[in-house]
Structure 1
Amino acid sequence: MPMKNLLVAFNGSEGSIAALRYAASLAERSGAHVTAMMAHSAHEVIDKRSRWIPKEARALLDAANSSILREIEAKFEAERTALGLVNALQLKEVTGRVDTVLSEAARHYDMLIVGSYSDTDDEHVTLHPDRIALMSGRPVVVVPAGYKGGGRLSHTALAWDGGRAAARALSDSLRILEDDGRVSVLTVGPRTGWPIEDLMTHLSRHGVEAVHEEWPTSHPVAATVLTWCRKHQPSLLVLGAFEHSKFREDLLGGVTSEVLAQIDIPVLLSH
């Protein structure tokens, strides 16, 4: 069953613009519907309800918050017009904790498409793709800022260690892999003892042409996957997110975080 209902997060950043364009391209190819969502927090620096805050100051704070949101809406309108989707694409505005709002919304769609994390985004519209993938229960495609490759998949890389997260990522991506067909299975170092041939047979029975590339334990996982992707330029990397705990990855660094920080192609994350 193809992807038919896509959600894209839009916060006006270069990453979110790339994500919107990618979602439109993917929807055109698969006949899917796209919904855009602007999630933002209240962005309160001080408590405006305090009786010590003059009403003029409250008005200035409201105007500053509103100005940021209207600027995002203007960027969306420009992109919607450029994509020729004036009557087919609307922007939903939702207030709350950004990662939580998007995670909960994503559960009602086949896939969430977001731009890569940027520390220059305004705080009350900043999103964290890794956290959303961890919380949402849906596949999250992270599109790097400036990406122009579109949504057609001529070649996909699948990072595989035989673990639960990798299996979930494979299952979540099969609907699009079946349509476009060619996959490189990348294994680096230790993986579960189950024969890799069973995975290759599984892909073959779904009509996917797959090859296996393997590196020994001495190779660092993230650096090896990144180097391979830069050399071969697949259309998509499929990655199981946070096979270890999110806390451990944040504390010590991990494959998910390192890949997302450096990759220049879209990444499908699942947990």
Structure 2
Amino acid sequence: MIKTIVVHVDGSAHQDSRLRAAARLASEHDAHLVGSAATGISFADMALLAGAVSPPSPVVDLDALRAGARRRLDDFTVQAGRLGVASIETRLAEEDTAFGLLLQSRYADLLVLSQDPPRGSAAPSTPRDLPTHLALHGVRPVLVVPDSYHDAPIASTIVAGWDGGGCALRAIDAALPLLCRADAVKLVLVNPDTLSGLHGEEPGADMALYLARHGVAVEVIVERTQATAGNALATVARDSGAGLIVAGAYGHSRLREWVLGGATRELLERTPAPLLLAH
């Protein structure tokens, strides 16, 4: 069940699409919508500022940062109400944006944010690679909404990537409330022969049966292609007019920093529809 949704609030031009997606899901699932805004200054930064002998350059006006975040949250409340959301709450995080969202998402079923915008067009409080960071470090699924989204049904046709792995399984389980509502679910396997040990004799059959027992109208699609897995999923989604893509967020540690695998990064950059990720 989806009963609590956290949406990133930064007041940027990219906020409209993600708020529309979050509001639609909140209304369809009778869920509580939480708008989360951050000052952009972490507790550690504030401690350093408090102990500084001389003012930092440029001077950080914490009161102005708080006031700006509160204004964004007030605007969010008005916008969410206009979109028909019945249960709304706002949270102001005295933190950097990524940590504040990670903290709030612990107590929610879904975290909604936008694709990385072009350089120079993000709000000052929104760091680059925010979807990457939250997808790999968070404990809840992340819904990444492209700017092209307006108000289309999300759980109409859904494309779900399946490779037999744990990340894909967690993404499908996280999306189950949406999959059960969908008119059609396309379970897409890309070149499954290379992972035959994970799929069994009939690739996709066991997962399709699992979903069917939950009442999901599922169809298995096997793509044997020279294209990358990310491009293959995006193409199926585009050709079928899907309202949602579900995929595992794959990453690996490089010098103790999490970085995304190629397929996940491709989907984040080029998804034609809202993208639900879980790691």
Provide TM-score, normalisation by structure 1. Answer: 0.84
Runs (5+) with no aligned partner, structure 2:
none
Aligned twin of 1:129:
131
Whether the 8 Å contact between 1:4 and 1:31 is mirrored in structure 2 is yes
Distance 1:261 1:63, change over 3 A: same
Whether the 8 Å contact between 1:14 and 1:146 is mirrored in structure 2 is no
CA distance in 1, matches of 2:259, 2:25: 35
CA distance in 2, matches of 1:70, 1:165: 36
State the Cα RMSD in Å. Answer: 3.0
Residue 233 of structure 2 aligns to a residue in which SS? helix
Distance 1:53 1:173, change over 3 A: closer
Matched, 1:268 2:244: no
CA distance in 1, matches of 2:63, 2:94: 16
* Aligned residues between the structures: 265
CA distance in 1, matches of 2:153, 2:101: 21
Residue 20 of structure 1 aligns to a residue in which SS? helix
Aligned twin of 1:89:
88
Deviates more, 1:70-79 or 1:100-109: 70-79
Aligned twin of 1:166:
168
Distance 1:198 1:84, change over 3 A: closer
Distance 1:84 1:210, change over 3 A: closer
Runs (5+) with no aligned partner, structure 1:
none
CA distance in 1, matches of 2:241, 2:104: 31
Distance 1:247 1:234, change over 3 A: farther
Aligned twin of 1:155:
157
CA distance in 1, matches of 2:253, 2:16: 27
Distance 1:151 1:129, change over 3 A: farther
Matched, 1:205 2:205: no
CA distance in 2, matches of 1:68, 1:267: 29
Distance 1:49 1:125, change over 3 A: farther
CA distance in 2, matches of 1:171, 1:77: 30
CA distance in 2, matches of 1:99, 1:252: 17
Aligned twin of 1:191:
195
Aligned twin of 1:12:
11
Q: Post-superposition shift, 1:265? A: 0.9
After TM superposition, list the pairs within 5 Å mapping 1:1-271 onto structure 2.
2-42=1-41, 50-53=52-55, 58=59, 61-62=61-62, 65=65, 68-69=68-69, 72-73=72-73, 75-85=75-85, 88-118=87-117, 119=119, 120-126=121-127, 128-189=130-191, 190-193=194-197, 194-195=199-200, 196-216=204-224, 218-242=226-250, 244-245=251-252, 247=254, 254-271=262-279
Q: Post-superposition shift, 1:14? A: 3.1
CA distance in 2, matches of 1:251, 1:62: 32
Whether the 8 Å contact between 2:2 and 2:31 is mirrored in structure 1 is yes
Percent identity over the alignment is 27
Residue 164 of structure 2 aligns to a residue in which SS? coil
